[in-house]
Amino acid sequence: MISLSRIGAIFKKELLQLKRDKMTFGMVIMIPLIQLLLFGFAINTNIRFIPVAVVDQSESALGRILTQTVSATQVVTFTESLKSIQAAEQAIADGHIKAALIIPADVSKRLVRHQTVGLKTPPSTEQELSRPIAHWIVDGSDTMIAAAIKGLRQMPMAELLNKNANRNTPTFEVTLFYNPEQRTAVNIVPGLVGVILTMTMIMFTSAAIVREQERGNMELLITTPIRPIELMVGKIVPYIFIGLIQVAIILGIGHYVFHVPINGGLDTLFAITLLFIAASLVLGLVISTIAKNQLQAMQMTVFVLLPSILLSGFMFPYEGMPKGAQYIAEALPATHFMRLVRAVVLKDNELAHLTDDIIWLSVFTLVGMLVASLRFKKTLD
């Protein structure tokens, strides 16, 4: 017969055990709290203030008014003023900006002959009437940002001329680079490399030290002359090869099945992948030196994975997040790798143009390895 008193005793014992396990109790509270904050504040599909540049070939008051009119939509924010289209294309390739507005030298002539304005004098040819006023060139590798810029294509001229939009002749011509067909796979597959490496590499190594403790191997390791840094390096080297195999599988299937172009050099791709794998493994080692058992290690891994996937730019554009979320994203290795792998795979960028993200991942790896080694000494004490 079921005894309520015995069930109550077990219930009380579980509560006491949960109360003593502060790490598990903290995760029970923090994981839903973090998800709520991320989805409530940080995740925003309504993208605003996309960093763009302007190339004003007209150098006229009309060009400045047109720039201000576009800026007033708050979809974009002009962060740079460039001298040539080639400079704008290079800035997009380097990732400094996401798009550039090219205002042609004859913008005033185009405006008065635009079908929206409807002026009959001077008489215009059909070709002149159908010309957009200006031209956007856009980094199309992120489909959500490309869609936001394309939304300006039919921008009403109400602010500038008190005229409505003309669907036959768009206000702006839009040219998409790197993903002109706006296929989702082109954006997702390179990013998926970062997500899978983050999940597997951190998960593999987060339980590395605590597993030795639980199996009783730590005492044996203490008696050997091995140094902490040697143990750390020895722990992560096998997983580097596993990570490289995973990358080859993802990109290989993405290229041959989903027709995702791989425009960059394989040696460059190999170098940045190796650096990111090292950073992820080191992060897992740090977790492993903090956790007291494998359950805690898995819980802490989830704690890191959530912001890494949601804030890295894989699912939602980095530019659409508030500043606070962007600061958190900058601290995560996945954010920097997303930029690197998309820049190499889709834009054929060279390492010399990616130094900021490379330096950050290198410093993160070195500092993480130092912290893991120091934490490992404390564990031995």
Q: What is the pLDDT of residue 54?
A: 94
3-state secondary structure 277-330: HHHHHHHHHHHHHHCCCHHHHHHHHHHHHHHHHHHCCCCCCHHHCCHHHHHHHH
| Segments making up each domain of the chain, as ranges | 9-43+182-375, 50-160
Report which DSSP code applies to 55. E
What values do phi and psi take at 9, rounded to 5?
Answer: -65, -45
C-alpha span between 238 and 213 (Å, rounded): 20
Q: What is the pLDDT of residue 316?
A: 83
Chain centroid to CA 330: how far? 9
Q: Are 240 and 323 in contact (CB under 8 A)?
A: no
Q: Are 197 and 277 in contact (CB under 8 A)?
A: yes
The low-confidence residues of the chain, meaning pLDDT below 50, are none
Report which DSSP code applies to 48. -
- In the numeric block, which tokens belong to residue 223? 């008696």
C-alpha span between 121 and 146 (Å, rounded): 36
Q: What is the pLDDT of residue 130?
A: 64
Tell whether pTM > 0.85.
no
Q: What is the pLDDT of residue 84?
A: 92
Q: Are 69 and 107 in contact (CB under 8 A)?
A: no
Q: Are strands 99-103 and 76-81 parallel, antiparallel or unpaired?
A: unpaired
Distances, alpha carbon 115 to alpha carbons 107, 132, 168, 223, in Å = 14, 9, 8, 84
Instruction: Determine the 3-state secondary structure of 157 from DSSP.
Output: strand
Q: What is the pLDDT of residue 119?
A: 54
Instruction: Determine the 3-state secondary structure of 265 from DSSP.
Output: coil
- In the numeric block, which tokens belong to residue 133? 């006023």
Instruction: Determine the 3-state secondary structure of 256 from DSSP.
Output: helix
pLDDT digits (tens, 9 = 90+) for 167-180: 566 788 899 999 88
Q: What is the pLDDT of residue 24?
A: 73
Q: What is the pLDDT of residue 166?
A: 57
pLDDT digits (tens, 9 = 90+) for 233-269: 787 888 888 889 999 999 999 999 999 999 888 999 9
Count of other CB atoms within 10 angstroms of residue 356: 13
Q: What is the pLDDT of residue 330?
A: 92
Distances, alpha carbon 199 to alpha carbons 234, 363, 367, 378, in Å = 20, 21, 21, 27
| CATH among 2.60.40, 3.40.190, 2.30.30, 3.30.70 for 50-160 | 3.40.190
Please classify residue 36 by burial: count the beta carbons closer than 10 Å to its beta carbon, then call 0-12 exposed, 13-18 middle and 19+ buried.
exposed
Q: What is the pLDDT of residue 114?
A: 64
Q: Are 376 and 286 in contact (CB under 8 A)?
A: no
